[in-house]
Amino acid sequence: MRLAYAPYILKFKNPAGTSRGILTEKPTFFIKVFDEGDPDRFGIGECSVFPGLSPEADGYYVYKLIELLANVALGKETDLSSHSSIHFGLEQALRDYAGGCRHVYFPSGFTAGKGSIEINGLVWMGDFDEMIERIDEKVEQGFHCIKLKIGAIDWKKEVQMIEYIRKKYSDSTLQIRVDANGGFTMDNALPRLKRLADLGVHSIEQPIPAGYPELMAFLCQVSPLKIALDESLIGIYSKEKKSMLLDEVRPEYIILKPSLCGGFSGAEEWIKLAEERGIGWWVTSALESNVGLNALAQWTAVLDTTIPQGLGTGGLFTNNFDCPLRLDSDCLRYDSSVEIDNDIYSKLDWKY
């Protein structure tokens, strides 16, 4: 068995406002596993690294890929415990190869075209008018749950925006989730959480920054609004430390991003520990290309999900790849008639 990797820059169709600034492009890496005797038959995966958020996104990232490449050739294991995105990509590539190199990572009724995954509609950060327009577009498309990125505009305007939504759409018609990306402080968190709860918001992701479990535990205990942990999960790899965090903070939900929390296997461990404690969860994508998103959706489909998931739709980038995922109202479906031509990956700058 051999492995190769290729860097790739994803280009946004429109500048994307995030808590980490305005993004116009995002780096990612693809990896493929193959047999030397038949190099045209390979399994592919995506190492979706996120600069500024992924702990492994440093100057040594490529060296870890080179180490993995060498160890696969030698038949040796590589410690990827602190490299979630590479773990995520390798799991995909191995599953694809084992499944016949057809980009079917988790066979199910979903990949047979018989099921769907309900998702929330993500409204990117922007000015007041832009976000209002995007919200109305999501509702017209058929979404019953939207997620608002807050923290980019004035708090009073964000409240006005949610008030506008509630005047048009009741909480029985439209569920509102918000993501603060750690943008609140302990001085303003409680009054803001109460105001959001009064407006019928369903939940908030990461109200204060990660790294303050005692303060987050206090908020979870007294907040009138359900709190979900997101960034707080990143960089926690051992089962013991995961258990300690959940026991100390006791959030209502956790947000699972396999490219940031140990791949599929790491995320599944988080799910098991959360369910043992009566903590809910949902899956969210993290700006993967259609390669990673396809695998992520297939994995989500085999989980016992009962609420809208936070998966993307593959429409963010100008230079994305063919994908069998299709958006139908507020659901992702898999078009089993689509066959992806592996020749599209031949133009990548593969390193062997």
Catalytic residues: 149, 257
Place of tokens 């903590």: 279
Which residues lie closer than 8 Å to 292 by C-beta, 6 or more apart? 28, 45, 46, 48, 88, 89, 92, 259, 285
Q: Enumerate the β-bridge partners of residue 45.
A: 31
Look up residue 189 and give its two tokens: 């968190």
**Distance separating alpha carbons of residues 255 and 265, to the nearest angstrom:** 15
Distances in whole angstroms, Cα of residue 83 to Cα of each of 55, 56, 90, 235, 340: 8, 6, 11, 9, 28
Angle CA 41–45–48, to nearest 5: 155
**Distance separating alpha carbons of residues 224 and 97, to the nearest angstrom:** 48
User: What residue type is assigned to position 178 of the chain?
Assistant: V
